[in-house]
Amino acid sequence: MKFNYVLILFFLFFFNTFSAQTKVSPEYIAVEWSEIQFDSLAIVNRMAYADTANFMHEKIYPCARCYLRQEVAEALLEANEIAKDKGVTLVIYDCYRPYSYQFKMYEIVNNPTYVAKPGKGSNHNRGAAIDLSLMDENGQLLDMGGAFDDFSAISNYAAEGLSKEARKNRRLLRRIMTRAGFKPYDGEWWHFDYKQKRYETSDFRWDCL
């Protein structure tokens, strides 16, 4: 019992120290982070965890703002131009996820199948991952064969039972993102990592205007 108590104290000390160390100045934010301006870029804002309409039915983010590391944001802008050339629109579900919010999500779900254990952090916690889909010129989401954050086998990129249309749309999304420098994750058709550079895990949290 005493050993468990010591472990808990150590964890709290580590987490509080991490949070304190990751508070950043406005100058650091300006240099290290870029906010995706949805309206001016004609990108659709569907930030899933800034609302309760997600698989946890909990609001995790205080507001729907999308931050990425500067170089990652530039790659996303390139993907946006490629998408426009192909007559489709990017639809963003998640971007940078503060480390403390990863803890909150894991506490709610408590299942690594659905939410990764915080550990050393994921690329979402580094500002180097993005979850997204595509929309057509009529404002309709392209058929991907399964919804964002559907954790059944259908979310695997090469899942069996997909229609020809869904396979075509998944290929299109993957082609757009890989051309812009992102690497797909086969287990989730919507998830892409920026692999050109390694970033530190962060707990920078944005303000809501």
The CA dihedral of 112, 69, 64, 44, to the nearest 10 degrees, is: -100
Q: Which residues pair with 106 in a beta bridge?
A: none
| Residues whose CB falls within 8 Å of the CB of residue 151, separated by 6 or more in sequence, listed in order | 55, 113, 114
Question: In the structure, how many helices (H) and strands (E) does the chain have?
Answer: 6, 7
| Gyration radius of the chain's alpha carbons | 18
Catalytic annotation present for 137: no
57 is in an annotated binding site: no
Q: Are 24 and 204 in contact (CB under 8 A)?
A: yes
SS3 101: helix
186 is in an annotated binding site: no
Kindly name the residue from 107, 165, 188, 200 that is annotated as catalytic.
188
Report the distance separating Cα 22 and Cα 3, nearest Å. Answer: 29
22-28 long-range CB contacts below 8 Å, 24 or more apart?
22/99, 22/202, 22/203, 22/204, 23/203, 23/204, 24/202, 24/204
Q: Which residues are designated catalytic?
A: 188
Would you list which residues are annotated within the binding site for Zn(2+)? 124, 131, 191
